[in-house]
Amino acid sequence: MYEGMVYDRWLKLGHPSGKLVTVFDYLAISERLLIGSRYEVIVQANIFASIVYFPQRQINPVYDNWLEGKILNLNWQAAGNNYLLSYDDLYKGNWILIETILGQLVIHPQDILQPIKQNGYLYWEESRIDLIAVIKHP
């Protein structure tokens, strides 16, 4: 339920690695996508159970089951009109771009409550992954 309405907006996306990734599409931007077609998407890690930053990669059993992301860009912005579908907030301000085992994703800077630097690492225990854009292809 979101703002008094019931939604079933969970999508299962097939990653090139063969893994199925479940993402939440709370604004239904995926309604025009065709099942079985290939798309490149932008996803956002959101609603964290906990998140921590380290300047270097951690080899620590405490973080073995946590997701890991290397910070690529502290001020990433969506580029012009390259998107087939997108969430309006994608264009409002900067995002943090990180590289994970499943590819790149963005995090809203307000979700990080400590100072961070490019090339550092974020670890988070759990989060919802939201679909925020589908990229146009020629």
Check residue 2 and give its pLDDT: 61
In a domain, 5, yes or no: no
Check residue 86 and give its pLDDT: 86
In a domain, 89, yes or no: yes
Check residue 138 and give its pLDDT: 54
Say whether pLDDT at 1 is over 60.
no
What confidence category does residue 7 fall into, taking pLDDT thresholds of 50, 70 and 90?
Answer: low
* DSSP 8-state secondary structure symbol assigned to residue 5: B
In a domain, 118, yes or no: yes
pLDDT in tens, 8-60: 788 888 888 888 889 998 888 888 888 888 888 899 998 777 889 999 998 88
In a domain, 33, yes or no: no
**Of residues 64 and 52, which shows the higher confidence score?**
52
Helices and strands of the chain, counted as H and E runs:
0, 10
Check residue 62 and give its pLDDT: 80
What confidence category does residue 70 fall into, taking pLDDT thresholds of 50, 70 and 90?
Answer: very high
Say whether pLDDT at 137 is over 70.
no
CA–chain centroid gap for 58, Å, is: 21
- Distances in Å between the alpha carbon of 80 and those of 58, 91, 96, 130? 36, 9, 18, 21
Domain of 97, in residue numbers: 40-135
Ramachandran quadrant class, 46 (left: phi over 0; alpha: psi -120 to 50; beta: rest): beta
In a domain, 107, yes or no: yes
**pTM (2 decimals)?**
0.84
Which H or E run includes 131?
strand 128-135
pLDDT in tens, 91-127: 888 999 999 988 899 999 998 989 999 999 999 987 8
Say whether pLDDT at 82 is over 90.
no
In a domain, 97, yes or no: yes
In a domain, 34, yes or no: no
In a domain, 119, yes or no: yes
Number of domains forming the structure of the chain: 1
